[in-house]
Amino acid sequence: MRASQFAINTMKETPAEAEIVSHQLMLRAGMLKKLASGLYTWSPLGLKVLRRVEAIVREEMDAAGALELLMPAVQPAELWEESGRWQQYGPELLRLTDRHGRDFCFGPTHEEVITDYARRELKSYRQLPVNFYQIQTKFRDEIRPRFGVMRAREFVMKDAYSFHADAASLEQTYQLMYSAYSRILERMGLAWRAVVADTGSIGGNASHEFHVLADSGEDAIAYAVDGDYAANVEMAPTFPADGPRAEPAEAMSEVATPNARTIDDVASTLDVPATRTVKTLLVQGTEVPAVALVLRGDHALNEIKATKQPAIAEPLTFVDEAEAPKLTGASVGSIGPVGLNIPVIVDHAAAALSDFVCGANKDGYHLTGVNWGRDLPEPETADLRDAVAGDPAPNGQGKLDICRGIEVGHVFQLGDKYSRAMNCEVLGEDGKPITPLMGCYGIGVSRIVAAAIEQNFDERGIRWPQPIAPFTVAIVPIGANKDETVMERAEAIYADLRARGIEVILDDRGLRPGAAFADWELIGIPLRIVVSPRGLAAGQLEVRRRDADASEDIAAEQLFDWLD
């Protein structure tokens, strides 16, 4: 590619609307243009990176035996009514009506569509297991779109859905996807961690998230410093359930005068003013004021926090404090920042969150299940660290600490939630119909681009890991107006690199060297080759790695050794 023909359009100033580094640098490098809140156009430069991420994801999905297909972005409401999510899914679902008055949504995820496809496509257990995936545009009407493509409304996701005759087969594919996700992030050269996760509004049992580690990450992760344990604190990490460690009286004096405004904030977030009850609850033997909510059936905690559907208000029940510990399969979570965690009781008789266990932090508040809605203030890393750092991990291996992460991938074992609700059946080995078990596996393709920058930048700009860089090499001829052999030599190197399949851009714009270098450093090209009259006279090229402190002069014939 020649830079003169590639619409390079960088900017020096940091755009005021961009809060985090990746958003600032993507705008400054000219990778993105905002169209409206949460909607972005990817420039040719930005799209090159997106496509490279996509290619790695596709290669690893194919290698794991998954089959690519493509489903419509727009989905009929009938399917969502079958699964029950037309009512359950909150305002993140963009609902549309066509000219005939029929309801549709713009897909935020595709469980319903794939289950409909499977029930028509799959006839026999012999066709199982099968894992379908697509790389496609999703729409979620995020309450607070921010950080550019990190939390956009329209974004690119790779989503996969597997179907199985039995639990062992589901577990096997789940492990395959877990390994594929690990390889994808390894190949991209990112520092990452897999963590135990909440199953959210999708429902189901086992679930892990894959986080790219970065201080700007929206999620807090509790992990064992010398062990394997890692969990999103949004989920309920099973912190030691040995009850509050502070003197109950001391703990109570703080919680007995809860900030009413905060409780009201919580209630209004939940949108359940009529049924909310501020009441003293007995939780782990300690009395604490609570907003007590009981959801019966298979509603998960996430649905309480996120859903403002009227349907959800109906099953909310007053909880008598004496009753709380007796609820069958009840789990205790809390809403609000650490230090003002307001307990929430969830009776999930369907055992969707059966491992949701209550614990307490040092102040006697409930840290587990910390489930602040996105629109409530999130706890600071330092507060979380104060609360848990140094505690033993729930599995006893290592001591806990807190770090921050960007959720880039998520794998779930869904079980038969969708296949049963939507009557997806195949003939089993004994000739009788069986309901396949399902798994689902998502990766935020566009979010990974931003997450990679959060981990790889300096004061001069982006430092792409080579596997996802838009170009591997930039060739910058300088002094070409004084010496015509400079451009000839630059062209020859350009042709040579292209012939070797190396992604290269030739800077033929005739800019001042300083301006040209600043562009390639901002854009983050891993390798730079400078061709100059002085170098040519000495038979040398000036080369520089993006992450090196200085350039080096190498003999021209050593170029390919250096590139290797």
* Residue 46 binding: pick among ligand ATP, Mg ion, none (C-beta 5-8 Å cut-off by kind): none
Q: Can you tell me which of 59, 82, 103, 142 binds ligand ATP, judged by CB under 6 A?
A: 142
Q: Which stretch binds ligand ATP (CB under 6 A): 97-105, 235-243, 326-334, 438-446?
A: 438-446
- In the region spanning residues 316 to 375, those forming contacts with ligand ATP, defined by CB under 6 A, are none
The DSSP secondary structure of 166-189, one letter per residue, reads SHHHHHHHHHHHHHHHHHHHHHTT
Complex with ligand ATP: residue 199 or 286, whichever CB lies closer: 199
* CB crowding 337-371: b at 16 or more within 10 Å, else e: bbebbbbbbbbbeeebbeebbbbbbbbbbbbbbbb
Complex with ligand ATP: residue 408 or 497, whichever CB lies closer: 408
Q: Can you tell me which of 85, 151, 305, 410 binds Mg ion, judged by CB under 5 A?
A: 410
Residues facing residue 75 across a β-bridge: 105
Rounded to whole angstroms, the Cα distance separating 434 from 428 reads 5
The DSSP secondary structure of 279-324, one letter per residue, reads EEEEETTEEEEEE-----TT--HHHHHH---HHHHTT-----TTTG
Shortest distance, CB of residue 158 to ligand ATP, whole angstroms? 9
* Residue 408 binding: pick among Mg ion, ligand ATP, none (C-beta 5-8 Å cut-off by kind): ligand ATP
Shortest distance, CB of residue 189 to ligand ATP, whole angstroms? 18
Residue nearest ligand ATP, Cβ-based: 444
Q: Angle of helix 445-455 relative to helix 44-63, nearest 10 degrees?
A: 110
Told to check if 208 binds Mg ion by CB under 5 A, we report no
Backbone dihedral angles phi then psi of residue 92, each to the nearest 5 degrees: -70, -20
Shortest distance, CB of residue 20 to ligand ATP, whole angstroms? 14
Complex with Mg ion: residue 22 or 199, whichever CB lies closer: 199
Told to check if 444 binds ligand ATP by CB under 6 A, we report yes
Q: Can you tell me which of 244, 409, 439, 535 binds ligand ATP, judged by CB under 6 A?
A: 409
C-alpha closest to that of 269 among 220, 302, 297: 302
Complex with Mg ion: residue 200 or 524, whichever CB lies closer: 200
Structure tokens belonging to residue 248: 């109950």
Residue nearest Mg ion, Cβ-based: 410
- Taken as a whole, the chain contains a residue count of 564
Shortest distance, CB of residue 66 to ligand ATP, whole angstroms? 16
Complex with Mg ion: residue 277 or 309, whichever CB lies closer: 309
Rounded to whole angstroms, the Cα distance separating 269 from 266 reads 5
Residue reference for tokens 């203030």: 377
- In the region spanning residues 15 to 74, those forming contacts with ligand ATP, defined by CB under 6 A, are none
Structure tokens belonging to residue 94: 């963009």
Told to check if 135 binds ligand ATP by CB under 6 A, we report no
* Residue 455 binding: pick among ligand ATP, Mg ion, none (C-beta 5-8 Å cut-off by kind): none
Sequence-distant (6+) residues with CB within 8 A of 416 are: 435, 436, 437, 438
Q: Can you tell me which of 45, 152, 188, 367 binds ligand ATP, judged by CB under 6 A?
A: 152
The answer, yes or no, to whether the previous bond of 108 is cis (omega within 30 of 0) is no
Contact at 8 Å (CB) between 266 and 335?
A: yes
Residue reference for tokens 């179907």: 163
Shortest distance, CB of residue 62 to ligand ATP, whole angstroms? 20
Told to check if 407 binds ligand ATP by CB under 6 A, we report yes
Q: How many residues bind ligand ATP (CB under 6 A)?
A: 16
Told to check if 208 binds ligand ATP by CB under 6 A, we report no
Shortest distance, CB of residue 10 to Mg ion, whole angstroms? 32
Contact at 8 Å (CB) between 156 and 54?
A: yes
Site residues for ligand ATP per CB under 6 A? 109, 140, 142, 151-152, 155, 157, 200, 407-410, 442, 444, 446-447
